[in-house]
Structure 1
Amino acid sequence: MSLSTASDKRIKNSGVAADAPSKVKVRKSGLVLVILFIVLIVVFLWSFTVGRFAVPLPELLTVFFRKMFGLPTTWSDTTETVLFNIRIPRIIVALIIGAAMSASGAAYQGLFRNPMVSPDILGASAGAGFGAAMAILMSGSALTIQLAAFSCGIIAVMLTYLVSCLIGKTNNSVLILVLTGMVVSSLFSAFISLAKYTADPNNKLPEIAYWLMGGLTSITAKNIMLILVPFMIGIIPILLLRYKLNALAFGEEEAQALGVDTKKIRFIYIICATLLTASSVATGGMIGWVGLVIPHLARMLVGPNLKFMLPASVLLGGAYLLLIDDISRTFFTVEIPLSILTAIIGAPFFIYLLAKGRNSWT
């Protein structure tokens, strides 16, 4: 048996496992995950039926069934256009963004052992916002804006990581990384303000402002693949290595004693969480509060064990942003940017979570 395999088993079966929930608690957490999955499926199906063009659930299921088996169409062209050109891409992208932001927030909170950490802590959101603003200023296409936002989000986090590596070579490396992320975020936020200041107030400025507020109005089928690839690349390692992230909760030295390469795990999680955050911001704009609130709610439902908390965050985040998008496009005469709704709903709810769940952070 190799040393790495032995250390992995030791992490699963010793220190961390000793503090794992009892069998009853494990079964309860598993049941909660099943319930959350069912809730996600219900919200997913319900999202197809709501909107200015209503599609009843029986008709929706009929369309899917007949399309799946190649049967003749029995519905109108309008119904097919609404479902396959507008709602399917938008609903899938909303689900992916919600899951990605929630998983990224949960990963960062576990990595930095701080429940107040959000996915944009290392500058990914600010960097992506700057990239999008510059692409809009240069009259780039929707694809160009998305690629520029994604690239600048990655660059911002790389800059944060490189600067922190140069400065912090002591036991305070995590603190240095967080502080460097705050500086880089402020720097790119200043660049965004500069781009808005120099933009044409009648054309470019409203476009930049609307993009920064977040929304899924312009989502098409092309956006599904553009966000699905980085989502899969980022989410798989985060879920597979979550037991090692559990070990980091005991501190750097304790995790190393259990055989965890803390620098390697930290680097992997930073890269994966950055991919999730940058791709989400590049596709849907700067949608706040999801990556901060949802991990708290998941922690209250299944506890702090990341074996259950990370999957719960993914399921909750997908369902939550789907509901927010449904409200955005249905409950008002005009479509409200998503970041406005997530802030209005998320801020009071977060205060409630802080008051109710402060004892379940650790």
Structure 2
Amino acid sequence: MLDETSPPRLRRHDRAKPRDQRREPAAVVPLALAALFLVTTGLVALALGRYSVPLGHVIEILTSRIAPFPTEANATEQNIVLLVRMPRILLAALVGGGLALGGAALQAVFRNPLVSPEIIGVSAGASFGGALALLLGLESALLVTGSFAFGLIALATLFLITSGRGGTPMLMVVLGGVVTGSFFSALVALVTYVADPNTTLPAIVFWLLGSVATATFTKVLVAVVPILGGAVVLFALRWRINVLSLGDDDAAALGVRPRPLRWVVLLAVALIVAGAVAVSGAVSWVGLVVPHLARMWVGPDHRILLPVSFLLGAAYVVLVDTVARTATAGEIPLGVLTALIGAPVFFLLLRRNRERIWESA
């Protein structure tokens, strides 16, 4: 039985229409609104902080880098906006957009709106790589490399667990992800146990809670490659993901090979998640809540759902990070706030849609 992650079947007279007539102009509206929300959130985030910068000065600073317009902003304001807050906001947008996009793609692959990127165990593997690098006192570049490498190792472990002669049932992928995630989570616990409680342990714990406080343009460049690389793959396959969410039988009848396509999607999501965790630590609930909200807004068509999820996820994490660095005198870990916000919101969504979820189970 199809659930809410499956796109509606095309009617016969819709399939007979030319491609340009099948395009719905209304699809541009949610994309434009989501992009406007992201831009507005980013501008507000650039202005807010311990050292407030007027919003007009922020716009002048940004436009002065594009065209030779004069600005009334002083050197301190320009340095804060361009060198301190800009890389942090860009990194938060990449992390949030990537996690939301990965969650939306996985929910289509598993045909279940309750699936998140953590289900394939890549987050736990990347977390172990970063925690191990902190334990060994490695540089930040090696921390990112180790986190990304162990994220890919977790994906390879999942592939070894589920590989076989026949097709791979979805249940085997889920169970393999649980096994992989539990194994690497145990290794993370071992690292925190042997870490020095006076020096290394606080750094490991803070990193595992998730944060973009140490953002630099170098980290942004590191995150761009895997996150945008995986995003490009998912955007290119968005029509095939629509077909895959109908089920293996229907997908095969429409000429799509389900198993290779599913692994391509899983690999793209693994690249995104590993890249996000490598630069920000574990930021939970974004890949579960944001795609659900986007689906309630634009529907289950992944041609629209995937880009809207990316934009909403980027704006959401930028907004939460702004709260994290301005709400109190000390910095609140990003992963703590996303969990505090995401869990109650998702509970309300479950209460509202529980009958639909049970009927589709």
Aligned partner of 1:347: which letter? A
Where does structure 2 lack aligned partners over 5 or more consecutive residues? Answer: 1-7, 16-20
Mapping for residues 204-215 of structure 1, pairs under 5 Å: 204-215=200-211
Where does structure 1 lack aligned partners over 5 or more consecutive residues? Answer: 1-14
1:83 aligned onto 2:81: yes
> Structure 1 residue aligned with 2:301, among 305, 308, 312?
305
> Structure 1 residue aligned with 2:346, among 344, 350, 356?
350
> Structure 2 residue aligned with 1:36, among 3, 11, 34?
34
1:269 aligned onto 2:269: no
1:222 aligned onto 2:218: yes
2: CA distance, partners of 1:312 / 1:273: 17
Secondary structure at the residue paired with 1:17? Answer: coil
- Check conservation: 1:300, 1:357, Cα contact below 8 A: no
Q: In 2 relative to 1, CA 27–358 (structure 1 residues): closer, same or farther, beyond 3 Å?
A: farther
2: CA distance, partners of 1:333 / 1:309: 37
What does residue 134 of structure 1 align with?
A: 132
1:18 aligned onto 2:18: no
TM-score calculated relative to the size of structure 1: 0.90
33-42 vs 323-332, which moves further: 33-42
Structure 1 residues 263-282: Cα deviation after superposition (integer angstroms, max 9, x where no partner): 22111101111111110011
Secondary structure at the residue paired with 1:121? Answer: helix
Aligned partner of 2:93: which letter? L
2: CA distance, partners of 1:89 / 1:251: 41
- Check conservation: 2:101, 2:310, Cα contact below 8 A: yes
Q: In 2 relative to 1, CA 24–326 (structure 1 residues): closer, same or farther, beyond 3 Å?
A: farther
What does residue 233 of structure 1 align with?
A: 229
CA apart distance, 1:39? 1.2
What does residue 6 of structure 1 align with?
A: none
2: CA distance, partners of 1:24 / 1:236: 23
2: CA distance, partners of 1:104 / 1:342: 16
Mapping for residues 1-362 of structure 1, pairs under 5 Å: 16-18=9-11, 26-70=24-68, 74-166=72-164, 169-170=165-166, 173-358=169-354
Q: In 2 relative to 1, CA 72–59 (structure 1 residues): closer, same or farther, beyond 3 Å?
A: closer
Aligned partner of 2:276: which letter? S
CA apart distance, 1:206? 0.8
Aligned partner of 2:340: which letter? I
303-312 vs 336-345, which moves further: 303-312
Aligned partner of 2:132: which letter? M
1: CA distance, partners of 2:158 / 2:228: 24
Q: In 2 relative to 1, CA 172–62 (structure 1 residues): closer, same or farther, beyond 3 Å?
A: closer
58-67 vs 233-242, which moves further: 58-67
Secondary structure at the residue paired with 2:163? Answer: helix
- Check conservation: 1:215, 1:337, Cα contact below 8 A: yes
Secondary structure at the residue paired with 2:65? Answer: helix
Aligned partner of 1:41: which letter? V
**Identity rate of aligned residues, in percent?**
37
1: CA distance, partners of 2:47 / 2:356: 37
Aligned partner of 1:148: which letter? G
- Check conservation: 2:168, 2:259, Cα contact below 8 A: no
Structure 1 residues 36-57: Cα deviation after superposition (integer angstroms, max 9, x where no partner): 1211111111111111111111
- Check conservation: 1:127, 1:155, Cα contact below 8 A: yes
Structure 1 residues 62-88: Cα deviation after superposition (integer angstroms, max 9, x where no partner): 112223234676532211221121111
Secondary structure at the residue paired with 2:51? Answer: coil
Aligned partner of 1:108: which letter? L
Structure 1 residues 216-273: Cα deviation after superposition (integer angstroms, max 9, x where no partner): 1111111111011112210011011111111112211110110001122111101111
Secondary structure at the residue paired with 1:120? Answer: helix
Secondary structure at the residue paired with 2:118? Answer: coil
* Count of aligned pairs: 346
CA apart distance, 1:60? 1.1
Secondary structure at the residue paired with 2:119? Answer: coil
Superposed CA RMSD in Å reads 2.3
Aligned partner of 1:266: which letter? R
1: CA distance, partners of 2:55 / 2:268: 37
